[in-house]
Amino acid sequence: MFDPNQFPITTRWPAQHPERLQLYSLPTPNGVKVSIMLEEIGLPYEAHLIDIGNNETWTPEFLTLNPNGKIPAILDPAGPDGKPLALFESGAILLYLAEKCGQLLSDHPVQRIETLQWVFFQMAAVGPMFGQLGFFHKFAGREYEDKRPLQRYQKESKRLLGVLETRLAGREWIMGNEYSIADISLLGWVRNLIGFYEARELVEFDSFPQVAAWLARGLARPAVQRGLLIPARD
């Protein structure tokens, strides 16, 4: 029997439905990967808003779940062998949920590893580069007199969009006709780049029609629309 009291994070964010998967997150590009995934696969879950603006990821309770102090993180009361599982890192969570539910990740060896390849591409390249561009373009970094960092991340973000543009030529989704965790990992970041980060003109986004069409298809999915708003902000 799962006892949520065994996990200190539940003392700060109590589980109203302890039998469900617990999501600790915020609607950021990394956070929405997991909420979109959960909405797509239909797994019951309970979402808890973690306020990074008030440094809630650095509280002792949250750090017991993710010692790296980042969202998202999950607590699955029905993990492998029926034992609770605490997990952080959005890419690892996507892989775990795909394997748990047998959805959005092919069981064909080649298709599977190629899908993971694109998830790692997002984790290692797209997320860090787009995030840095956002910092230097919109936030405190824009005040820096030295514009070389901004120029570097601008150039690299455009290059990465070009990689996606080439991949999506003749494909509906990253893996062809099959929507997958590769798409989920990337949608929030591309959306943020041209939306919240206000970098559409900076990266010449309209010169990447395949990426634009893919983004529109992804954002039209009902599960994506729901996931982008979870956890609900106050």
Nearest to 113 by CA among 169, 175, 163, 165: 175
Taking the complete model, does pTM exceed 0.85, yes or no?
yes
Q: How confident is the model at residue 1 (pLDDT cuts 50, 70, 90)?
A: low
Mean pLDDT of 189-213: 98
Q: Domain 109-221's class?
A: mainly alpha
Taking CB atoms within 8 Å and a gap of at least 24, the contacts of 105-111 are: 105/180, 105/181, 106/175, 106/178, 106/180, 111/175, 111/178
> Strands across the sheet with 45-49, in order?
45-49, 21-25, 73-76, 85-88
Q: Where in the chain is the domain with CATH 3.40.30.10?
A: 4-103
* Domain range 4-103, its CATH number among 3.40.190.10, 3.30.470.20, 3.40.1280.10, 3.40.30.10: 3.40.30.10
The values of phi and psi at residue 233, to 5°, are: -80, 150
pLDDT in tens, 14-35: 999 999 999 999 999 999 999 9
Average pLDDT score, the chain: 97
Q: Distance between terminal CA atoms of the chain?
A: 33
